[in-house]
Amino acid sequence: MAKVFQNFKNSKLKVDKVFLILIIVLIVVGILIFLSAALGILPSNELKFFSVVKSQMFYVFIFGFLALFIGSKIDYKYYKKYSIILFILAVLFTLSVFIPNLGFAYNGSNRWIHIFNISIQPSESLKFASVILIAAYCSKYSKQFNKIKFGLLPFLTFVFIVGLVLLVQPDFGTFLVVLIPAFIVYFVGGAKMRDVLILIVAGILTFLVLIQVRPYMKERVLTFIQPEREVLGSGYHLNQSLIAVGSGGLFGRGVGQSIQKFNYLPEQISDSVFAVYAEELGFVGSIILLSLFFSIIMRGIFISKRATDSFGKLLIIGIISTFFFQMALNISSSIGITPLTGIPLPLVSKGGTSLTFLMFELGVLLNISRHRVEI
């Protein structure tokens, strides 16, 4: 166990300072955005306002920074060694939502468990464990991917297991955030074009089947196609989000001046936090925020190019892909480009489990940056 934390005492191994600064800047900006959005709760429920603000600050400054620190100190090579074990544990942890008196349902979905009066979403662990597993597998077997039994078949088995665990909850949004980064790692890791095309076709067909057998998914797709349908029903959330974004104009109403966050826009501190931000700071402010997100993504890609081994490169690609698609799905659903998914905006939205695991993953990326080839 002492070897796992060997970097604690090795002062010569420095993390990428640019990436660390970008993370801290996004965290600070995220807190300001969150606080402004949370003001929408204050007039109607003062107790809830102080509760959510206290909870978010606790997760950011205690669990979040602790996770970032620990992730940056553990030698990332150990994740490859225990990748299968970590994945199995994550699957079992995710399935714990179905244990009576431990898991609980919210809005018709079994996605959370209660431990010591704290709500935890176990599927967040599955995101990282999946990236580790695929990165480890590709770094070991990529030269044999021309054979289906080493390439396509194991990946399909992985997709089946993850799909079974998440879609039964149901949690299609998290399934996408697990599947797409894993697919990207598999593709970058040496997947054959034949297998890539098969997976794309299979993915499209699976989605078409799911929207037929899952009424809530079909309703979201129909609302996405026709936002004006059922304005006071299934289309209410999307329409209020579009109103918020549209009313922001070029420069926005001003910091703290959002109208939609007061009793109009649902989930203003989680799913719809970007809509509040866009209303207050407009198109220009949105571009600045997106630039910060993409700066983190591009710096992560830069670090991956300097990683000393294929596992490190692929693990970074997986972490950055997870970060990107959470950001992309949240923002695109707020502006009507994709259906609503319930995915939080990274390091901005309310969400203790998501924030903690994401900061741990970014810490792992920082650890990989310690072991770099100077170019």
What one-character-per-residue DSSP string does 45-71 give?
-HHHHHHHHHHHHHIIIIIIHHHHHHH
State the pLDDT at residue 240: 86
Average pLDDT over residues 38-53: 88
Strands 109-115 and 103-106, by their bridges, are antiparallel
**What tokens appear for 10 in the block?**
């090795």
Q: Which residues are within 8 A (CB) of 83 and not within 5 positions of it... i.e. 6 or more apart?
A: 129, 132, 133, 135, 136, 137
What whole-number distance in Å separates Cα of residue 168 and Cα of residue 91? Answer: 13
Q: Which residues are within 8 A (CB) of 141 and not within 5 positions of it... i.e. 6 or more apart?
A: 150, 151, 154
Question: pLDDT band for position 3 (50/70/90)?
Answer: low
Instruction: Report DSSP state, residue 307.
Output: B
**What tokens appear for 7 in the block?**
């970097």
What whole-number distance in Å separates Cα of residue 173 and Cα of residue 68? Answer: 24
C-alpha separations of 151 from 187, 191, 199, 204 in Å? 10, 7, 11, 20
Residue among 171, 51, 175 at smallest CA distance from 105: 171
What are the start-end ranges of the H helices in 39-151? 46-58, 65-73, 77-81, 83-95, 123-141
For residue range 203-250, list pLDDT tens digits in order: 889 888 887 777 767 777 776 666 666 666 667 778 888 888 888 889
Question: pLDDT band for position 36 (50/70/90)?
Answer: very high
For residue range 111-125, list pLDDT tens digits in order: 888 887 778 889 999
The model's pTM is 0.91
Phi, psi of 120 (to 5 degrees): -125, 140
Average pLDDT over residues 269-297: 93
**Which residues does residue 103 pair with via DSSP β-bridges, in sequence order?**
113
Residue whose structure tokens are 């797709």: 221
What whole-number distance in Å separates Cα of residue 318 and Cα of residue 315? Answer: 5
What whole-number distance in Å separates Cα of residue 289 and Cα of residue 87? Answer: 33
Average pLDDT over residues 1-12: 50
What whole-number distance in Å separates Cα of residue 13 and Cα of residue 15? Answer: 7
Sign of CA dihedral 203, 317, 346, 360: positive
Question: pLDDT band for position 10 (50/70/90)?
Answer: very low
First to last CA, the chain: 32
Of the candidate ranges 135-139, 202-206, 264-268, the one whose mean pLDDT is the lowest: 264-268
**What tokens appear for 314 in the block?**
């692929």
**What tokens appear for 269 in the block?**
């501190």
**Which residues does residue 118 pair with via DSSP β-bridges, in sequence order?**
115
**What tokens appear for 352 in the block?**
């203790």
